[in-house]
A and B are shown apart, each in its own frame.
Chain A
Amino acid sequence: MGSTPTNMTAGESDTPRRRAALRIVQAGPLDLIQDGGRIGFQRYGVGPSGAMDSRALAVANALVGNAPDAPAIEFLQASSTIEAVDGPLRIAVAGAPGPVDLNGRVWESNRSFTLAPGDRLRAGPRSEGQRGYIAVAGRFCLTPVMGSYSTHLRAGFGGLDGRALAPGDILDVSGAAPPDGPDSLFPDDAWIGGRPVAAPETATDAMGEITSDGPATVIRVLAGPQDDHFTPEAIETFTRSVYVISKDADRMGYRLTGPTLAHADGYNIVSDAIATGSVQVPGAGTPIILLADRQTTGGFPKIATVVSADLPRLAQLGPGDGLRFRFVSAADAAKLAVADHDWKAGLPSHLQPAVLRPEDMTAEHLLEHNLVTAFWQPTDDNFPFRG
Chain B
Amino acid sequence: MTPAIDAREASDEKAYRLLPAGDRAVTVELGAVVDPVINARVRALDAAIANAALPGIIEAIPTYRSLQLVYDPVRISPEDLRDHIDALIRDGALDDDHAVHQGRHWTVPVAYGGDNGMDLDSAADLLGLSADDVMDLHQSAEFTVAMIGFQPGFTYLSGLPEALHLSRMDTPRTVTPSGSVSIGGIQGAISSVVAPSAWHLLGRTPVRAFDLRREDPFLFRPGDTIRFSRIDTATFGELAKRADRGEDILAPETPPAGPNGADA
Q: Which residues of A does B touch, CB under 8 Å?
A: 1-2, 39-46, 145-146, 152, 154-155, 157, 222-226, 267-278, 295-300, 302, 305-309, 330-331, 333-334, 336-338, 341
Contacts and interface: CB of A to CB of B under 8 A. Distances in A.
B22 A306 contact: yes
Given A43-B61, A270-B34, A273-B66, A155 B19 contact: no
A239 B66 CA distance: 27
Interface string B222-238: 00000000000000000
Contacts of B63: 270-273, 297
Interface of B: 1-5, 19-25, 27, 29, 32-34, 58-66, 68, 70, 73-74, 77-78, 147-154, 156, 192-193, 195, 210, 212-213, 217-218
A131 B25 CA distance: 26
Nearest to A43: B61
Contact of B32 (A152, A224, A270, A276): A270
A333 B22 contact: yes
Contacts of A155: 151-152, 193, 210
B19 A275 contact: no
Nearest to B76: A334
Contacts, number: 161
Contact of B68 (A154, A272, A331, A341): A272
A26 B62 CA distance: 43
A53 B59 CA distance: 21
B23 A39 contact: no
B23 A334 contact: yes
Given A273-B21, A336-B23, 19 more contacts: A1-B212, A40-B59, A45-B154, A145-B212, A157-B212, A223-B20, A224-B20, A225-B19, A226-B19, A272-B65, A273-B25, A274-B21, A275-B68, A295-B151, A298-B1, A298-B150, A302-B21, A307-B23, A308-B23
Interface centre among B4, B24, B65, B78 (most CB of A within 10 A): B24
Given A1-B213, A39-B58, A155-B193, A297 B23 contact: no
A337 B23 contact: yes
Q: Is the interface of B mostly helix, strand, loop or mixed?
A: loop
Contacts of A44: 148, 152-153, 210, 217-218
A305 B20 CA distance: 8
Contacts of B3: 267-269, 299-300
Given A275-B70, A305-B22, A334-B77, A43 B152 contact: no
Given A45-B149, A300-B3, A334-B73, A273 B22 contact: no
B23 A333 contact: yes
A45 B149 CA distance: 4
Contact of A278 (B21, B61, B78): B21
Contacts of A272: 27, 29, 63-66, 68
A351 B127 CA distance: 67
A370 to B, nearest CB: 44
A348 to B, nearest CB: 18
B148 A45 contact: yes
Contacts of B61: 42-43, 273, 296-297
B148 A337 contact: no
Nearest to B61: A273
A273 B212 CA distance: 23
A338 B2 CA distance: 35
A333 to B, nearest CB: 4
A12 to B, nearest CB: 25
B53 to A, nearest CB: 14
A145 B24 CA distance: 23
Contact of B78 (A41, A297, A300, A334): A334
A43 B151 CA distance: 10
A225 B21 contact: yes
Contact of B147 (A1, A224, A271, A330): A271
B151 A275 contact: no
A295 B174 CA distance: 15
B70 A42 contact: yes
B193 A330 contact: no
7 contacts: A45-B153, A225-B27, A273-B66, A276-B22, A277-B22, A299-B3, A305-B25
Nearest to A309: B23
